[in-house]
Amino acid sequence: MPAGPAPTGPQSITRRRALACGAAAFAGLGLRGSGSWLDNLLRLGGAEAPADVFKGDAPDDALWELWRRRGWVKEASHYLKLDRNVQCKVCPNNCLLAPGDRSHCRNKVNRDGMLYTMAYGNPCTFHIDPVEKKPLYHFLPGTPTFSLATSGCVFRCLNCQNWEISQKKPEETKDPRGPEFRLRPPLPPSLSYDELARLSLFPDDVVAVAGALRCPSISYTYSEPTAYYEYASDTCRLARERGLKNIIVTCGSIEDRPLRDLARFVDAAHVDLKGFDDATYRRLNSGRLQPILDTLKTYRDLGVWFEVINLVVPTYTDDLDMIRRMCGWLVENLGPDRPLHFSRFNPQHKLDHLPPTPVDILVRARAVARAAGLRYVYLGNVREVPDAATTWCPGCKRAIIERDIFAVTRLALDAGKCRYCGTPIAGVWNPPSRAS
């Protein structure tokens, strides 16, 4: 039987945590979300201490008013009111904020005893991407997906490739001054830098724009959708109503209740499993392993299609024994049909002194995964391996989907089955496959 993640010792309850528990119990806490106050008290008592937050860093009145007039603030969901303090319950960081404080993810503030998100309707970037770029290889192959992000992230990955937006405050990426610019169809042929800086894309705008651009799906990506949870949730809900699919590209660090609420509208997820060792997660990502494993199992239980991505970072997550344990866990808990993408690290952010992942390590990781029983294993950011992005039929062993970087060059599927032997291939293959 595959070994699980290395066990961690019992969690001590800090004095700060004990005070928070006491406050929650006796202050008549108000909860935005679900669960009784007793449930929440018990959860508080067994959880980690809240993450570091930015003390006194909420915007001043003038900026707040500009932001509010734009519609770029919304009361947060899933939070506790602890008298004048608030505690966010969206991710395991569980930020505890006094009035005037800003959250760990930089997007939420306590204003007068209420928790608000400042990342609503104000994406700092958007693009049309092939769905293969997420990467998702078993979900609507060859289709474009309208992809957007706001600032902010719940993690602090040393190797973050999007740190220019993920490690920024909303007001460092958007400008609330000047006339409003709201993007809606009919779309202008181009946007000026000034328009981009002031751009609003509220949920109904996102859905309308994605439709106008003939994208069958919307991807919440680049930074971390958990950090703009309210914006992503509202957009997902509306997109589902209007017949578009929703793709969540996430680190997977999210609490159970908000995950289940969001997942009702999610059609596919890309979940980063950044390693299989809690100490490495803390050191490399400022996160924890167990919440990610819980998220993977929840997506499995809810029947949401998802694929797993593992970035192989030299000296951090390139240990083949750890990769072997990880693959064993994946097979045992998610089954052999769950696609696994090993991705090549390139030097960046705080790890720009490390070399790129050697190709032979990635090839050996793929062999380990296949030996563990995984049927669909891919290598990303690798040009040197010809079949790095090829899907092989587990029945007849023939190549059934071939890709060149993000382009599908050959698709031999009929109604989700191998064209040669009829073996069903796990994934979401609707609309009908194109002829190869």
Binding site for ligand SF4 (CB under 6 A): 88, 90-91, 93-95, 103-105, 108, 154, 226-227
Sign of CA dihedral 95, 99, 101, 107: positive
Give the C-alpha distances (Å, rounded to integers) separating 207 from 125, 181, 213, 263: 16, 17, 10, 18
Question: At its nearest, how many Å lie between ligand SF4 and the CB of residue 368?
Answer: 33
Instruction: List, in sequence order, the alpha helices (H) in 71-174.
Output: 163-166, 170-173
Q: Which is nearer to ligand SF4, 95 or 236 (CB)?
A: 95
104 three-class SS? coil
82 burial class (0-12, 13-18, 19+ CB within 10 angstroms)?
A: buried
Q: Which is nearer to ligand SF4, 147 or 223 (CB)?
A: 223
Among the listed residues 212, 173, 166, 162, the one whose alpha carbon sits nearest the alpha carbon of residue 72: 173
Q: Bridge-partner residues for 129, per DSSP? A: 145
Q: Which is nearer to ligand SF4, 80 or 369 (CB)?
A: 80
Q: Which is nearer to ligand SF4, 103 or 200 (CB)?
A: 103
Alpha carbon 287 to its chain's center:
13
Q: Which is nearer to ligand SF4, 88 or 401 (CB)?
A: 88
Question: At its nearest, how many Å lie between ligand SF4 and the CB of residue 412?
Answer: 42
Question: At its nearest, how many Å lie between ligand SF4 and the CB of residue 390?
Answer: 37
Question: At its nearest, how many Å lie between ligand SF4 and the CB of residue 103?
Answer: 3
Question: At its nearest, how many Å lie between ligand SF4 and the CB of residue 108?
Answer: 4
Q: Which is nearer to ligand SF4, 117 or 147 (CB)?
A: 117
Q: E-assigned strands of 381-422?
A: 391-392, 399-404, 407-411, 413-414, 417-418
Residue with tokens 């109604």: 415
Q: Which is nearer to ligand SF4, 23 or 385 (CB)?
A: 23
Q: Which is nearer to ligand SF4, 89 or 324 (CB)?
A: 89
Alpha carbon 89 to its chain's center:
16
CB 269 within 8 A of CB 219: no
Question: At its nearest, how many Å lie between ligand SF4 and the CB of residue 229?
Answer: 6
Residue 308 tokens read as: 């797993």
Question: At its nearest, how many Å lie between ligand SF4 and the CB of residue 121?
Answer: 17
Question: At its nearest, how many Å lie between ligand SF4 and the CB of residue 101?
Answer: 10
Q: Which is nearer to ligand SF4, 255 or 267 (CB)?
A: 255
Beta-carbon contacts of 265 under 8 Å, excluding residues fewer than 6 positions away, are 233, 236, 237, 239, 240, 246
Among the listed residues 60, 299, 288, 296, the one whose alpha carbon sits nearest the alpha carbon of residue 155: 288
User: What whole-number distance in Å separates Cα of residue 85 and Cα of residue 210?
Assistant: 38
Question: At its nearest, how many Å lie between ligand SF4 and the CB of residue 154?
Answer: 4
CB 142 within 8 A of CB 148: no
